[in-house]
Structure formats: structure tokens, C-alpha cells
């Protein structure tokens, strides 16, 4: 199914932020079937359970991609599927979302713990703050933040918390190295959640894959400029098919 691309969303905001990108991709290539699939609604932070659910529900032999947490899960699923995955693309997706000694260019642990505590205390306020962080670096950050949060689903509290716990523990470096198919990873220069320096760190880890940095954009660049992002993805897909 080299004509099918599965896109997974980030934490908390549902599938809506990816839908303009899916429409833009279809506009560039009417033969490409783009599916935006929700993340598993699991009250567990066990990675294998998340991957089991995704592997069982998503079609085989497709391109896998995602935004932020969705990109991390797509990376793990691509490594699990191996030749059953056509290729991988991630958007604003750090191999480690929370910093560790071996991967310092990520969110500081204390910042993440404060965010986790905020979610425990007041989910709506935390989601609003999260939307603002995603939109920072955009031309109209407040308008983009409203767009992000207005369509967010009413996700159960325990599912939101398990997603955050999964985000904290994920380290996709081994999966990215193990997956031998084509890869495209796009980062944003003004991202408040994933430092731009992670792009060069990833290039050091994976010198043979395509890594791009959109300098004047924030974490939600896929929603701010879906046509530009679609163009970069389409060029990558076209190049891979030609090869």
C-alpha cells in the first residue's frame, strides 16, 4: 500500500490539527490515501500495549507518520513492522520528549513534572496552556492556539495522564536506528516544546535520513502552514517511490 499514509496526532488535542495537512496532501496527490487515526484510548503507559493496539488497528504496508507523540509512536511501530512499513515521517517529534543525560536537547524534567502536576489539578486549564505552547512561534499564536484547543476531544482524565506518562518515558532512538526504511523528520526553529537543536542531534544519530528545520515556525507548524508541510512530505514520498 505505497499509496497509503497513516498519520497519528499528538497528545491531548485529537485528530483535528492534522486534518488540514491530510487535505493538502490529497490535493497534491489524489492517489495518496491519507488517514488520520486517533491515538489509543488506553489508561496504561505501557508502550507495548499502545503498539499492540496500533499494530492491530492500522493497515499493514503503509507509510507511517505523526506529530509529536504521534511521531514517536509511529517510529516505534515502524521499527516493529520493519519491511511491513513503507517509510516513516515525523513532525516536531523529539526522540526523547523529556531531557536525559544522553539526550539533553529536550524538555527539562522539572518543566515536565510541573506540567504533569497541572494536568492532575486542572485538565482544561492545562490543555489551554498546552495549546498556547504549541502555537508559540506562529504568526498569530493566540488564533492558532484557539484553533488547536477548540476542537480538542473530551478525553478521559486517566487516558490523558497515561499519555503523558508514556511521553515522559519514551526514547525512540533505538527504534529509529533499527528501522531501515526511508525517514523524514521535520522540526521547527521556534518550537517551545521540542528544541530546534534536537534536529542536529538526530542528524548525528541518523546521518543517512532526511531531516529538515523550518526556522520561523513553532510546534504546530503543520496546522499553520499545512500546504508547505504537505509539499515537503510529497517531495519526500515522490523521491522514495522513484528510488
Domains, the chain, in order of start with CATH, read 4-242 (3.40.50.1820)
pLDDT of residue 20: 97
CA–CA separation, 121 and 42 (whole Å) = 20
**pLDDT digit string, tens, across residues 108-117:** 999 999 999 9
CA–CA separation, 72 and 94 (whole Å) = 7
**pLDDT digit string, tens, across residues 150-199:** 989 999 999 999 999 999 999 999 999 999 999 999 999 999 999 999 99
Strand order of the sheet with strand 4-8? 33-36, 4-8, 62-67, 85-91, 183-188, 210-214
Chain centre to alpha carbon of residue 55: 17
Q: How many CA atoms lie within 13 A of 180 on its CB side?
A: 3
Rounded mean pLDDT of the chain?
95
Q: Is 139 helix (H, G, I), strand (E, B) or coil?
A: coil
CA–CA separation, 241 and 236 (whole Å) = 9
pLDDT confidence tier of residue 2, bands split at 50, 70 and 90: confident
Determine what percent of the chain is predicted with pLDDT higher than 70.
Answer: 99
Tell me what the mean pLDDT of segment 93-106 comes to.
Answer: 98
Residues that are catalytic: 68, 191, 219
Determine what percent of the chain is predicted with pLDDT higher than 90.
Answer: 95
**pLDDT digit string, tens, across residues 5-25:** 999 999 999 999 999 999 999
Are the beta carbons of 97 and 69 closer than 8 angstroms?
yes
Given a cut of 70, is residue 1 above it in pLDDT? Answer: no
The 8 Å CB, 24+ separation contacts for 118-126 are: 119/160, 119/161, 119/164, 120/161, 123/157, 123/160
Amino acid at each position: 500500500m505505497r499509496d497509503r499514509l497513516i498519520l497519528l496526532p499528538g497528545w491531548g488535542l485529537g485528530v483535528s490539527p492534522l486534518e488540514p495537512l491530510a487535505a493538502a496532501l490529497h490535493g497534491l496527490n489524489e492517489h495518496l490515501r491519507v488517514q488520520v487515526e486517533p491515538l489509543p484510548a488506553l489508561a496504561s503507559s505501557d508502550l507495548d500495549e499502545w503498539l499492540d493496539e496500533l499494530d492491530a488497528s492500522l493497515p499493514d504496508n503503509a507509510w507511517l507518520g505523526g506529530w509529536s507523540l504521534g511521531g514517536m509512536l509511529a517510529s516505534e511501530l515502524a521499527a516493529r513492522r520493519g519491511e511491513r512499513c513503507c517509510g516513516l515521517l515525523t513532525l516536531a517529534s523529539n526522540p526523547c520528549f523529556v531531557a536525559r543525560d544522553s539526550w539533553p536537547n529536550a524538555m527539562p524534567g522539572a518543566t515536565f513534572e510541573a506540567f504533569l502536576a497541572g494536568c492532575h489539578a486542572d485538565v482544561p486549564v492545562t490543555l489551554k496552556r498546552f495549546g498556547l505552547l504549541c502555537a508559540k512561534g506562529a504568526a498569530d499564536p493566540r488564533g492558532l492556539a484557539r484553533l488547536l484547543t477548540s476542537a480538542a476531544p473530551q478525553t478521559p482524565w486517566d487516558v490523558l495522564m497515561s499519555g503523558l506518562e508514556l511521553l515522559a518515558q519514551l526514547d525512540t532512538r533505538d527504534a529509529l536506528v533499527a528501522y531501515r526504511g526511508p525517514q523524514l523528520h521535520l522540526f521547527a526553529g521556534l518550537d517551545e516544546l521540542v528544541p530546534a537543536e534536537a534536529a542536529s542531534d538526530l542528524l548525528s544519530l541518523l546521518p543517512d535520513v532526511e531531516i529538515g528545520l523550518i526556522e520561523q515556525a513553532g510546534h504546530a507548524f503543520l496546522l499553520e502552514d499545512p500546504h508547505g508541510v504537505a509539499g515537503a512530505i510529497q517531495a519526500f514520498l515522490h523521491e522514495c517511490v522513484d528510488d
